[in-house]
Amino acid sequence: MGRRATRLLSGLVLLTVVGAGAFWWLTKPAPWDATHWEGLGEPDLADGERVFWAGGCTSCHAAPGAKDDARLVLAGGRPLKSPFGTFYPPNISPDETAGTGSWTLAEFGNAMTRGVGKNGEHLYPSFPYGSYARMTVKDINDLWGYMRTLPKSANVAPPHDLPFPYNIRLALGGWKLLYLTDAPRVDVNAADAKLARGQYLVEGPGHCGECHTPRNALGGFEADRWLAGAPNPEGEGRIPDITPGSKSIGSWSASDIVSYLETGFTPDFDSVGGSMVEVQKNMAKLPASEREAIAAYLKALPPS
């Protein structure tokens, strides 16, 4: 091999190493600095319970078919099918071994808002930290305090069942670089307190977009189709468009939406179905003012 070819090969190797290093630096797990979670004081458990229901924790982490107090046992293991494979939500009960009982507030907060696990690993966005990223530190602290009062479970959830290349966690750093943001999804009148509250609930803890917004081939939201409906990730039917003008709730008034979230009945006296059953049960636990804020936000959206 000639000297010129050797220099060229060496240059290519150097560029590859530098490029790989730059990619790793840009996409490595990025938890908050420890000071982010300091000085929050004792959690408000009543507020933590409200956040718990707004965040829909039971929908994924409780056992299928669980009712009443059994919904508070967050044992994990319920299969979540998707085009990328099957995810198994973990045990997040306060059990010290199988659950999150040994976690700190910072570890919990970084999982919720940065998608970083207890051991510093990237978490899959099947856990909707892309939405939870908008949550306030107070709400995270209050939620954490409330969850520590819930029953323990020793259940160990199965590992995710994902084909190549989706089983490579390193690639999640690139996904976060492209799609993880705490910016508002749409512009609303921030001066309107009810609208602002509704935006926080829908785009943040309520994580409504995770089901109601279509995704591209990489699993990122199609930003210009916010809440415009999407294929059911489990393969049956569609998740409806919930913007104004839609065939699903476009003709509903704000009070119709509020009533639906509280009772599970539509204006035509049909009843909630599918995966929305669990969501509606959670929404019914919220104060009426929260459901009213959600309705105000949905009515203020641009039509799809």
% of the chain residues with pLDDT over 70: 91
The C-alpha angle 237, 198, 219, rounded to 5 degrees, equals 40
Which range has the worst mean pLDDT, 13-22, 123-132, 264-273?
Answer: 13-22
Question: What are the boundaries of each domain within the chain?
Answer: 35-183, 184-304
Q: Is the pLDDT of residue 94 over 70?
A: yes
Is residue 272 scored above 70 in pLDDT?
yes
Give pLDDT tens digits for 81-93.
998 999 999 999 9
Model pTM? 0.90
pLDDT of 129 reads 98
SS3 62: coil
Helix (H) or strand (E) holding 281: helix 276-283
Work out the average pLDDT over 209-235: 91
On the 0-12 / 13-18 / 19+ scale of CB atoms within 10 A, 227 is: buried
> What does the pLDDT average to over 243-262?
94
Is the pLDDT confidence value at 12 over 80?
A: no
Q: Is 103 helix (H, G, I), strand (E, B) or coil?
A: coil
Q: Is the pLDDT of residue 25 over 50?
A: no
Q: Which residues, other chains included, contact 154 with Cβ-Cβ below 8 Å and sequence gap of 6+?
A: 95, 97, 98
pLDDT tens figures, 103-154: 999 999 999 999 999 999 999 999 999 999 999 999 999 999 999 999 999 9
Assess whether pLDDT exceeds 70 at residue 20: no
Q: What are the distances in angstroms from CA 80 to CA 7, 97, 100, 125, 281?
A: 51, 23, 20, 12, 19
Q: Please report the pLDDT score of residue 16 as a whole number.
A: 53
Structure confidence at residue 281 as a pLDDT band (50, 70, 90): very high
Q: Over the chain, what is the mean pLDDT? A: 91
Q: How confident is the model at residue 174, as a pLDDT?
A: 93
Of 61-75, 97-111, 148-162, least confident by mean pLDDT is: 61-75
Tell me if 179 sits within 8 A of 130, measured CB to CB. Answer: yes
Cβ atoms 256, 270 nearer than 8 A: no
Q: What is the pLDDT of residue 167?
A: 92
* Predicted local confidence at residue 9, as pLDDT: 57
CATH 1.10.760 fits 184-304, yes or no: yes
Range of 59-73, 88-102, 181-195 with top mean pLDDT? 88-102
Q: Could you tell me the pLDDT band of residue 22, with boundaries at 50, 70 and 90? A: low
Buried b (16+ CB within 10 A) or exposed e, 207-216: bbbbbbbbbe
Contact 57, 205 (CB under 8 A): no
Question: Residue 41: left if φ>0, alpha if ψ -120 to 50, beta else—which one?
Answer: left
Token pair of 35 as six digits: 């000071």
Distances (CA, A) of 182 to 35, 103, 284: 19, 24, 27
pLDDT at 152: 97
85-87 and 230-231 beta bridge pairing: unpaired
Looking at residue 28, its pLDDT comes to: 83
